Amino acid sequence: MTNEGALNSLLLLFFPQRAKKKKENFVFAVSEISSSTAMPSLPQKPGDAPDAKSSRVGLPALDVATAFPQATPASIFPPSVSDYYQLDDLLSSEEKNIRKKVREIMEKEFAPIMAEYWEKAEFPFHVIPTLAALSVAGGTIKGYGCPGLSITGSAIATAEIARVDASCSTFILVHSSLGMLTIALCGSELQKQKYLPSLAQLTTIACWALTEPDYGSDASSLRTTATKVEGGWLLDGQKRWIGNSTFADILIIFARNTSTNQINGYIVKKDAPGLKATKIENKIGLRMVQNGDILLKKVFVPDEDRLPGVNSFQDTSKVLAVSRVMVAWQPIGIAMGVYDMCHRYLQERKQFSAPLAAFQLNQEKLVRMLGNIQAMLLVGWRLCKLYESGKMTPGQASMGKAWISLKARETVSLGRELMGGNGILADFLVAKAFCDLEPIYTYEGTYDINSLVTGREITGIASFKPAILSKASRL
């Protein structure tokens, strides 16, 4: 198409009445665009007074309910309609109760504020007591003031939180399934008594620092060091991406013991001299989560705060196996929320004098989303059962996390399409969920790394290192 042709097609799209009335020539078309669609003019150079039109600049956006009256935004959360194969039948009454309680609170307390906080990239600290009242922090841990839920109950709670807001579910996951669980599985009795009760109440917050700037997927090669000194240890190094770290009261830090060359774990207090955590800005997903860069310069950790159960990288796997199951339920929850939103939106929004739900193409997309969710739920549920019976392998957990996040990616992207322009607005949930899924696809092992963990398990061959390097290391 020529430039002229393209411009006239655009004109037809944006000014159909005028374009139909008279086939104006190219010159007219250009002048029409420049006069009737002119942007409010800005001052030409610093110091110039703005003209009358520029008074429109800086006005607050219209409330979305006024700007788009045809469909309800996600601040009034849609009813849950994704349990098509009645997964509820597979849950105990305790698990059903958790689902109900978490769903109600999330829809009522969190849905109205999440778009605003996501946009600001701030964590809504005032809701922490409400999250505490859900009694889900500590998940499966028994005693020490923790809820002692079944892993399925804990997973269902994770999904219900993520259904409304993925950032909140990540906040809890880092705190509970990584921070608290490491203390529960690898801490001394004294450490459990000292730290777990207030963490369960969310009156203190934890984070979990494994990743480093130079070691992400290859985390077992991490370089932060722990050097033994009298009465304790000195930590030196750097961590990256650590969720909650800018405000956490305690930081679980993994470092390489300079005597044994093995990975050890330490509980570091937030005000320890030499510790600095700064926020990573400009994220496109999980914007409410405060991810930090951590610098450690000769940070002293007393002997009593070394985790006795972390003596090699393998010891982190005990924690990661459980937390990967929990992380797998985040995409399930996100996909459920997106489906619920699309289901309502497609009935409210009309085009060509019919609700969007009446178009065959849209129905096919909705059904594909729903089918994905049923399969994701069943895989997630089965993982929980394998874990409960003590049969779950690391490869199974990895495949669950990888496959579920892959399917969720397809599901939310279909949802984004279905919502048209509103599919890129956080106010209608789907755009936010679409972006929030991306870091989840990547953290706790990327899709690729989790696939390789399963690949190693089923073939007996590790293929993490390129063949050329593996060969070189054998020479």
Ligand X SMILES: Cc1cc2nc3c(=O)[nH]c(=O)nc-3n(C[C@H](O)[C@H](O)[C@H](O)COP(=O)(O)OP(=O)(O)OC[C@H]3O[C@@H](n4cnc5c(N)ncnc54)[C@H](O)[C@@H]3O)c2cc1C
Per CB under 6 A, residues contacting ligand X are 174, 208-211, 216-217, 241-243, 286, 291, 439, 442-444, 446, 448-449, 452, 464
Residue 419 CB, nearest approach to ligand X (Å)? 24
Q: State the Cα–Cα distance between residues 370 and 375, nearest whole angstrom.
A: 9
Q: Which is nearer to ligand X, 11 or 334 (CB)?
A: 334
CB of 448 to ligand X, least distance (A): 3
CA distance 195 to 183: 8
Q: How far is the CB of 283 from ligand X (least distance, A)?
A: 7
Nearer to ligand X, 147 or 439 (CB): 439
We find the least distance from the C-beta atom of residue 289 to ligand X, in angstroms, to be: 6
- Minimum separation from the CB atom of position 193 to ligand X (A): 25
Given a contact cutoff of 8 angstroms between Cβ atoms, the answer to whether 398 and 323 are in contact is no
Q: Which is nearer to ligand X, 99 or 256 (CB)?
A: 256
Whose Cβ is closer to ligand X: residue 95's or residue 444's? 444
- Minimum distance from residue 208 beta carbon to ligand X (Å): 5
Place of tokens 């049923």: 374
Tokens of 20: 């139909």
> Based on CB atoms, which residue is closest to ligand X, 102 or 435?
435
315 versus 444: smaller Cβ distance to ligand X: 444
Output 286 or 326, the one with its CB closest to ligand X: 286
Give yes or no for a contact between 401 and 445, defined as CB atoms under 8 angstroms apart: yes
- The CA-atom distances, in angstroms, between 237 and each of 147, 377, 405 are 35, 40, 32
- Closest distance to ligand X from the beta carbon of 214 (Å): 9
SS3 for 48-97 is CCCCHHHHHCCCCCCCHHHHCCCCCCCCCCCCCCCCCCCHHHHCCHHHHH
Q: Which residue has the tokens 């599919």?
A: 423
Q: Are the C-beta atoms of 243 and 255 separated by less than 8 Å? A: no
Least distance in Å: CB of 464 to ligand X?
4
10 Å Cβ neighbour count for 346? 21
Q: Which residues make Cβ contacts (< 8 Å) with residue 267, sequence separation at least 6?
A: 183, 187, 191, 195, 250, 251, 252, 301, 305, 306, 307
Nearer to ligand X, 152 or 330 (CB): 330
**Minimal CB distance to ligand X: which residue?**
216
In angstroms, the CA 405 to CA 335 distance is: 10
Considering only CA atoms, give the Rg of the chain: 26
List beta partners, residue 264: 255
